[in-house]
């Protein structure tokens, strides 16, 4: 059995520490790794200086901490605009270079949003017009996203990286509004290194954890763990919502991938991170028939 690999996340720890401090936190507290969220304030592949990168690499090698890289919002594979397509290619290339430096096996992205649908409204008020068919715009954007994701996956192939696309059913005008549309997008991309980043809270908001998991399970190569109470994305610490993690605990126990705690608790991020880690390890231990959580095997 593969020991579960629980990763901390810089997005969750952002209120109190930067990426280097977060990597030290992960090492000090027995996490197997750290997911680094790309953002212009703390860590952007085109801006981060060499000293920070070198220190992260040293912590990874010296402490046995793995890294994954998450590029969530600056690229839009569904974009119609040539300028955004060119910029997206360059961002992906730089992110891939950084992922290689850090030893990340994956680059995480979103499936994109359909900007044309935002153009058909103003301040939330839709235009009533027969000039544009909304369903046709959705289909075109979905196809464009699949093609772009395939092209980006080709950019990652020489480095042996996977491009993992997150289930974003809760996002307005997302290019993949259902689990099935995301699964179909992965298939349409047609590349073996295109997989799914399965977010548990987003699945709860969509069709439900069990239902969305049943559709996406064959494609999952990365996981974001967070809890949820309502039909909006809350990213609660584990155990504070209604997500039934026990239903997928046996899958998590054997998945050869990072299980990233992507939680939002800005007033107590450190305590919430540790408590969430212990929560999921208890469930995994129960699913595995163990009397105690899996050993700390860093990979």
SS3 state of residue 116: helix
Q: Report, in angstroms and rounded to the nearest whole number, the Rg of the chain calculated over CA atoms.
A: 19
- Residue 8 — pLDDT band, cuts 50, 70, 90? very high
Residues 165, 188: Cα–Cα separation, whole Å: 13
| Strand partners for 89 | none
Q: Kindly provide the b/e burial profile for residues 110-146, where b requires at least 16 CB atoms within 10 angstroms of the residue's own CB.
A: bbbbbbbbeebeeeeeeeeeeeeeeeebbebbbebbb
Average pLDDT, rounded, for the chain: 93
SS3 state of residue 166: strand
Mean pLDDT of 64-70: 97
- pLDDT at residue number 46: 87
pLDDT at residue 241 tops 50:
yes
Mean pLDDT of 240-266: 97
Mean pLDDT of 115-124: 85
pLDDT at residue 294 tops 70:
no
pLDDT in tens, 163-205: 999 999 999 999 999 999 999 999 999 999 999 999 999 999 9
State whether the Cα torsion 52-94-35-258 is positive or negative: negative
The first and second tokens of residue 23, run together, are 């990597």
The first and second tokens of residue 104, run together, are 């990340």
Residues 291, 4: Cα–Cα separation, whole Å: 15
pLDDT at residue 34 tops 50:
yes
pLDDT in tens, 198-237: 999 999 999 999 999 999 999 999 999 999 999 899 999 9
pLDDT at residue 93 tops 60:
yes
Q: Which residues contact 58 (CB under 8 A, 6 or more apart)?
A: none
Backbone angles phi, psi at 9, to 5 degrees: -145, 130
SS3 state of residue 196: strand
pLDDT at residue 293 tops 70:
no
pLDDT at residue 291 tops 50:
no
With tokens 């289909």, the residue in question is 139
- pLDDT at residue number 37: 96
- Residue 290 — pLDDT band, cuts 50, 70, 90? low
With tokens 């994954």, the residue in question is 68
- Residue 289 — pLDDT band, cuts 50, 70, 90? confident
- Residue 127 — pLDDT band, cuts 50, 70, 90? confident
Mean pLDDT of 122-138: 84
- pLDDT at residue number 121: 85
Residues 236, 182: Cα–Cα separation, whole Å: 24
- pLDDT at residue number 107: 98
Residues 255, 43: Cα–Cα separation, whole Å: 28
Residues 279, 39: Cα–Cα separation, whole Å: 28
Residues 56, 65: Cα–Cα separation, whole Å: 9
Domains of the chain (ranges, CATH numbers)? 5-287 (3.20.20.150)
| Strand partners for 159 | none
- pLDDT at residue number 1: 42
């Amino acid at each position: 059995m593969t020991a579960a690999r629980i990763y901390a996340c810089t997005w969750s720890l952002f209120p109190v520490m930067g990426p280097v401090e977060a990597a030290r936190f992960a090492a000090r507290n027995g996490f197997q790794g750290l997911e680094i969220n790309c953002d212009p304030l703390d860590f952007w592949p085109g801006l981060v200086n060499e000293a920070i990168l070198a220190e992260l690499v040293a912590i990874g090698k010296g402490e046995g901490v793995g890294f994954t890289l998450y590029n969530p919002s600056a690229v839009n594979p569904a974009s119609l605009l040539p300028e955004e397509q060119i910029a997206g290619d360059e961002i992906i290339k730089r992110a891939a270079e950084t992922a290689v430096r850090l030893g990340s096996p994956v680059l995480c992205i979103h499936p994109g949003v359909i900007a044309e649908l935002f153009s058909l409204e103003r301040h939330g008020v839709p235009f009533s017009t027969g000039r544009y068919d909304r369903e046709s715009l959705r289909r075109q954007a979905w196809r464009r996203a699949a093609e772009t994701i395939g092209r980006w996956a080709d950019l990652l192939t020489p480095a042996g990286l996977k491009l993992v696309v997150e289930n974003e059913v809760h996002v307005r005008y997302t290019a993949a509004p259902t689990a099935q549309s995301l699964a179909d997008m992965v298939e349409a991309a047609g590349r073996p290194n295109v997989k799914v980043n399965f977010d548990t809270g987003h699945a709860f908001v969509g069709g439900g954890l069990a239902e969305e998991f049943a559709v996406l399970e064959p494609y999952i190569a990365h996981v974001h763990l967070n809890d949820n109470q309502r039909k909006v994305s809350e990213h609660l610490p584990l155990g504070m919502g209604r997500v039934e993690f026990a239903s997928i605990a046996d899958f998590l126990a054997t998945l050869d991938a990072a299980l990233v705690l992507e939680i939002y608790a800005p007033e107590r991020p450190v305590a919430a991170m540790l408590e969430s880690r212990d929560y999921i390890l208890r469930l995994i231990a129960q699913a595995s028939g163990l009397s105690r959580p899996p050993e700390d095997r860093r990979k």
